Copies of this chain bind each other. A is one copy, B any other.
Amino acid sequence: VGATIVAMRIAIALYENLTALDAVGPYEVLGRLPGAEVVFTAARVGPVRTDQGSLALVADATFDDVPEPDVVLVPGWPPNMPIPDVDALVGWLRRVDAHTRWTTSVCTGSLLLGMAGLLTGRRATTHWAAMDMLAAHGAVPVAQRHVIDGKYATAAGVSAGLDMALTLAAALTDVTTAQAIQLGIEYDPEPPYDAGSPRTAPAELVPVVRSVLIDRPV
């Protein structure tokens, strides 16, 4: 199997209160691309606490250290939590976008791309509970697992980053490489319930979950 080798720098943005799986799911895929170098980037080097509080991911580089990544990925966060460094983050997203081959997000990360002005008039997606917020940033919300519009790839909520990352892996290299990565992480999902979407979940759960993620804490 002769995999395509690509030299590319992939920057994954970290910021306080991000959702860990939004970043780590795609990392597990994109980090396995032959020739790819992934760097976790934040306003400051060091631990960045994620939304549930029990886990910190470490940033090895500052935003300024990574001015021209080939691929940028921004994870999401529960919009009812603050992002202390939001201006630094959004400013960096806007600057690096001038150089990227791909600008990507998972979950409500697309709201941050929207704040950077990068999704105006573009088809994009986000967590199902945040679709209205995405529209408020001028994007055209599309209820798909992931959406590609030009060089902008956006994924639906949290776990959707895995699916988007496999699609990106194929676009950056070839289908065989993406399939090898899928086999390596044994991504052959068997959810025990069919409740992962507002289309399939028990209807009474939809407003409850929306409230946990979106509404201001009382």
Contacts and interface: CB of A to CB of B under 8 A. Distances in A.
Interface residues of A, number: 67
A209 B189 contact: no
Interface stretch (A65-73, A80-88, A96-104, A155-163): A155-163
Count of chain copies: 2
B157 A185 contact: yes
Interface string A162-180: 1100110010000110111
Interface string A118-130: 0000000001100
Nearest to A32: B52
A192 interface: yes
B183 A55 contact: no
Nearest to A107: B186
A202 B179 CA distance: 8
B163 A162 contact: no
A90 interface: no
A136 interface: no
A198 interface: yes
Interface string A133-164: 00000000000010000000000111110110
A7 to B, nearest CB: 15
Contact of A156 (B107, B175, B186, B208): B186
Contacts of A38: 52, 54-55
A213 interface: yes
Contact of A182 (B37, B170, B191): B191
A34 to B, nearest CB: 11
Q: Shortest 5 CB-CB distances between A and B: which pairs? A: A157-B186, A188-B196, A179-B195, A189-B189, A56-B58
22 contacts: A20-B24, A20-B27, A24-B55, A27-B54, A28-B158, A38-B55, A47-B47, A47-B58, A56-B60, A145-B188, A159-B186, A160-B186, A162-B191, A166-B193, A176-B202, A178-B193, A179-B193, A179-B195, A183-B205, A186-B196, A187-B191, A188-B196
Given A160-B190, A187-B191, 14 more contacts: A1-B204, A21-B27, A28-B159, A37-B54, A40-B54, A54-B60, A56-B57, A156-B186, A156-B188, A159-B187, A166-B193, A178-B195, A179-B193, A183-B201
